Amino acid sequence: MTVMLNAPVPGAPTAPLPGSRGLPPRRSRVAATAWAIAAALVVLAAAGTLQISWSDLPSVPGQVAHYLRLMFEAPNWEKLPRALFETWRSISMAWIGAMLCVAVSIPLGMLAANGVGPLWVRALLRGIFAVLRAVPEVIIALVLLTVTGLTPLTGALALAIAGIGTQGKWVYETVESAQEGAVEAVRAAGGTTADVTRWAIWPAVAPALLSFALYRFEINIRTSAVLGLVGAGGIGSMLSNYTNYRQWDTVGMLLIVVIAATMLMDAVSGAIRRRIMNGSR
Per-domain boundaries in the chain: 75-278
pLDDT over 60 at 7, yes or no: no
The percentage of the chain sitting over the pLDDT mark of 90, rounded to a whole number, equals: 5
> 186, 199 in Cβ contact below 8 A?
yes
| Stronger pLDDT, 204 or 70, i.e. the higher one | 70
89 phi and psi, to 5 degrees? -65, -40
Total residues found in the chain within this entry: 281
The whole-angstrom separation of Cα 88 and Cα 161 is: 21
125 phi and psi, to 5 degrees? -65, -40
pLDDT over 90 at 124, yes or no: yes
Rounded (to 5) percent helix, strand, coil in the chain? 75, 0, 25
Positive or negative, the CA dihedral 246, 150, 96, 159 is negative
pLDDT over 70 at 170, yes or no: yes
Give pTM, 2 decimals: 0.72
* Confidence class for position 149, pLDDT limits 50, 70, 90: confident
- Which positions ≥6 away from 262 have C-beta within 8 Å? 221, 222
- Which positions ≥6 away from 122 have C-beta within 8 Å? 111, 112, 113, 114, 172
Closest CA relative to residue 93, chosen from 134, 148, 131, 53: 148
Position 277, amino acid: M
pLDDT in tens, 251-269: 889 899 988 988 888 888 8
Q: CATH class for domain 75-278? A: mainly alpha
* Confidence class for position 24, pLDDT limits 50, 70, 90: low
Position 28, amino acid: S
| Stronger pLDDT, 114 or 256, i.e. the higher one | 256
Tell the burial category of 187 from Cβ atoms under 10 Å away from its Cβ (0-12, 13-18, 19+). middle
The percentage of the chain sitting over the pLDDT mark of 70, rounded to a whole number, equals: 81
> 219, 163 in Cβ contact below 8 A?
yes
Tell me the mean pLDDT in the region 23-29: 71
pLDDT in tens, 236-248: 888 888 888 888 8
